[in-house]
């Protein structure tokens, strides 16, 4: 077993190579939501496979289950009787969005003020890099299995098949799922709960065809106004979700203030924060409903017409412990029963994602608290995350006896999924050391 000082030296020595490998991955536009980007996903998978092999893993291969996008699997045998640790990350990324909102080219990594900018620099190609750094730096104590997903940003649809087909080589005592965030820069976190997710598309129709707004306006209901009233019915005046039947819980408020949250989220001065209860409870343990898109005539192109139909996509986050199927049904029922003026309403629901709550009482959690606290020089904060992560439930189902650690390299300034995504390089170095310490201690049975 290597000492902490030996691991610090080992991690520092591999970081230049690991960072260069990370930058090479960022340059590949592996956008899983873009069907035309499949060659880029293949190229990205090949880069990952090479990096895992150079880190010392054997039997590294690329797999596309059920015709899905390519994942990468690798393995390194450890000492006899030592536990097996499965390391997870993903190499696919979100679309760029409006390129004009980026301060540099999205797929050309650039360092500014101690941060590495680029799509995927943090979410989640840095997770791959952290795994490679930890494997390179540690002695072969624990057996290491690695799975790098190629479909996380589209909900990991073929992950259950991958786990079923390769469960013999992926079965592990501890799972380290590196796709989350730290509490803030310099303060490490373990994610112990996740909200579930339900997405629906609602369409409202009031007319057989568009009408002149002057000739028919007044008694004639237009669909866009009806949709607006329907969406408004989903929240109380204070901003709590008004859909009946959804569960909610409470969370430790920690040290998150309104001022800090407003700064992190970029809330405009004078805009009121929504809902009731502590901020952490609202973020992690209560439902949240957002209107993420509306189909309607563009302002610059619209005529003076009454719109016959309009659509919106809604994203509902549900509290840990809530039933995602029941929550989906509750939202659909609300939309169908609250349509104003007798408008026709059609609702289509996507595949729900289950929420998650971890058992934090096991020895791997104790080892992680020690490792991450030592590497960062700050005590670990156990947090919830308001987002829904589809890959956690398949892992929990496939390996019910394993301890699941959800780690990450992001921070409140990362802007994952948005323009100017970035990685804090100091925290990345600390995360690599923390994972190396964790693997070494798990391998020694600590």
* Planar angle of CA 389, 395, 401, nearest 5 degrees: 135
Pairing state between β 84-90 and 115-117: unpaired
**Paired tokens of 158:** 């073929």
Give how many domains the chain has, as a whole number.
2
Q: Are residues 185 and 252 in the same domain?
A: no
- CB count within 10 Å of CB 301 equals 6
Query: Which candidate, 195, 218, 223, 186, places its Cα nearest to that of 208?
Result: 223
Q: What is the CATH number of the domain that holds 390?
A: 3.40.630.10
Q: Residue 423 above 70 pLDDT?
A: yes
**Residue 136, in any domain of the structure:** yes
Please give the DSSP secondary-structure letter assigned to residue 5. H
**Residue 160, in any domain of the structure:** yes
**Residue 364, in any domain of the structure:** yes
Is 235 in a helix, a strand, or coil? strand
Q: Are residues 55 and 200 in the same domain?
A: no
Confidence label for 403 from pLDDT (cuts 50, 70 and 90): very high
Is 201 in a helix, a strand, or coil? strand
Tell me what pLDDT residue 387 has. Answer: 87
Q: Are residues 219 and 304 in the same domain?
A: yes
**Paired tokens of 222:** 């237009």
Could you give the percent of the chain with pLDDT greater than 90? 94
Q: Are residues 160 and 17 in the same domain?
A: yes
Tell me what pLDDT residue 389 has. Answer: 87
Q: Are residues 243 and 300 in the same domain?
A: yes
Report the Cα 136 to chain-centroid distance in Å.
26
Q: Round to whole Å and give the CA distance between 324 and 368.
A: 30
Mean pLDDT of all residues in 308-327: 96
User: Residues for the chain: how many in total?
Assistant: 446
Q: Are residues 236 and 368 in the same domain?
A: no
Q: Round to whole Å and give the CA distance between 161 and 147.
A: 13
Q: Are residues 108 and 157 in the same domain?
A: yes
**Residue 253, in any domain of the structure:** yes
Query: Quick one: 175 exposed, middle or buried, by C-beta within 10 A (0-12, 13-18, 19+)?
Result: buried
Tell me what pLDDT residue 253 has. Answer: 96
Mean pLDDT of all residues in 373-401: 94
Contact predicate 317/387, CB 8 Å = yes
Q: Which domain holds residue 280?
A: 196-261+276-349
Tell me what pLDDT residue 93 has. Answer: 98
Tell me what pLDDT residue 390 has. Answer: 86
Q: Are residues 37 and 169 in the same domain?
A: yes
Q: What is the CATH number of the domain that holds 294?
A: 3.30.70.360
Q: Are residues 336 and 239 in the same domain?
A: yes
Mean of the per-residue pLDDT values for the chain?
Answer: 96
Q: Residue 123 above 70 pLDDT?
A: yes
Half-sphere exposure of 376 (CA within 13 A, CB side): 28
Q: Are residues 345 and 419 in the same domain?
A: no
Tell me what pLDDT residue 297 has. Answer: 92
Of 296, 330, 349, which marks where a domain is finished?
Answer: 349
pLDDT tens-digit map of 278-288: 999 999 999 99
**Residue 270, in any domain of the structure:** no
pLDDT tens-digit map of 242-275: 999 999 999 999 999 999 999 989 999 999 999 9
**Paired tokens of 237:** 């005046």
Of 332, 349, 366, which marks where a domain is finished?
Answer: 349
Please give the DSSP secondary-structure letter assigned to residue 78. -
Tell me what pLDDT residue 445 has. Answer: 79
**Paired tokens of 213:** 């707004």
Q: Round to whole Å and give the CA distance between 116 and 71.
A: 25
Direct distance between the N- and C-terminal alpha carbons of the chain, in angstroms, rounded to an integer: 11
Q: Residue 129 above 70 pLDDT?
A: yes
Q: Are residues 24 and 171 in the same domain?
A: yes
Tell me what pLDDT residue 446 has. Answer: 59
**Residue 170, in any domain of the structure:** yes
Residue 388 or residue 83, greater confidence: 83
**Residue 267, in any domain of the structure:** no
**Residue 297, in any domain of the structure:** yes
pLDDT tens-digit map of 66-83: 999 999 999 999 999 999
Confidence label for 56 from pLDDT (cuts 50, 70 and 90): very high
Tell me what pLDDT residue 395 has. Answer: 94
Of 324, 349, 374, which marks where a domain is finished?
Answer: 349
The listed range with the strongest mean pLDDT (20-29, 261-270, 292-301) is 20-29
Q: Are residues 321 and 419 in the same domain?
A: no
Mean pLDDT of all residues in 146-154: 97
């Amino acid at each position: 077993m290597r000492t902490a000082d030996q691991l610090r030296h080992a991690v520092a020595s591999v970081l230049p190579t690991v960072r260069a490998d990370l930058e090479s991955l960022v340059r590949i536009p592996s956008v899983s939501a873009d069907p035309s980007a499949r060659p880029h996903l293949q190229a990205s998978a090949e880069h990952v496979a090479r990096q895992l092999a150079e880190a010392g893993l054997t039997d590294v291969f690329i797999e596309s289950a059920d015709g899905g996008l390519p994942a990468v699997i690798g393995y390194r045998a450890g000492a006899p009787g030592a536990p097996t640790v499965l390391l997870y990350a993903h190499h696919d990324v979100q679309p760029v969005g409006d390129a004009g909102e980026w301060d540099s080219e999205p797929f050309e990594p650039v360092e500014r003020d101690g941060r590495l900018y680029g799509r995927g620099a943090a979410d989640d190609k840095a997770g791959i890099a952290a795994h490679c750094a930890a494997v390179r730096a540690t002695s072969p104590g624990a057996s290491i299995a690695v799975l790098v997903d190629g479909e996380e940003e589209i909900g990991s649809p073929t992950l259950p098949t991958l786990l079923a087909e390769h469960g013999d080589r992926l079965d592990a005592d501890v799972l380290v799922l590196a796709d989350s965030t730290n509490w803030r820069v310099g303060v490490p976190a373990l994610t112990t709960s996740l909200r579930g997710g339900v997405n629906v598309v609602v369409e409202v129709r009031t007319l057989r065809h568009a009408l002149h707004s002057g000739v028919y306006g007044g008694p004639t209901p237009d669909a866009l106004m009806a949709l607006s009233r329907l969406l408004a019915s989903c929240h109380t005046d204070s901003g709590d979700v008004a859909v009946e039947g959804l569960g909610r819980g409470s969370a430790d408020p920690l040290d998150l203030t309104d001022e800090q949250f407003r700064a992190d989220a970029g809330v405009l001065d004078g805009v009121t924060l929504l809902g009731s209860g502590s901020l952490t409870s609202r973020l992690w343990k209560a439902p949240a409903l957002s209107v993420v898109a509306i189909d309607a005539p563009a302002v610059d192109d619209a005529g003076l017409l009454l719109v016959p139909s309009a659509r919106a996509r809604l994203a509902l986050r549900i509290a840990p412990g809530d039933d995602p199927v029941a929550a989906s049904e509750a939202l659909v029922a609300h939309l169908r029963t609250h349509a104003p003026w007798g408008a026709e309403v059609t609702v289509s629901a996507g595949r729900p994602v289950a929420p998650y709550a971890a058992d934090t009482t096991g020895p791997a959690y104790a080892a992680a608290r020690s490792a991450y606290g030592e590497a960062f020089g700050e005590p670990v904060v156990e947090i919830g995350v308001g987002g829904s992560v589809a890959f956690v439930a398949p892992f929990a189902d496939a390996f019910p006896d394993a301890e699941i650690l959800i780690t990450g390299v992001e921070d409140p300034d990362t802007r994952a999924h948005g323009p100017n995504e970035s990685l804090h390089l100091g925290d990345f170095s600390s995360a690599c050391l923390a994972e190396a310490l964790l693997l070494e201690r798990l391998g020694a049975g600590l």
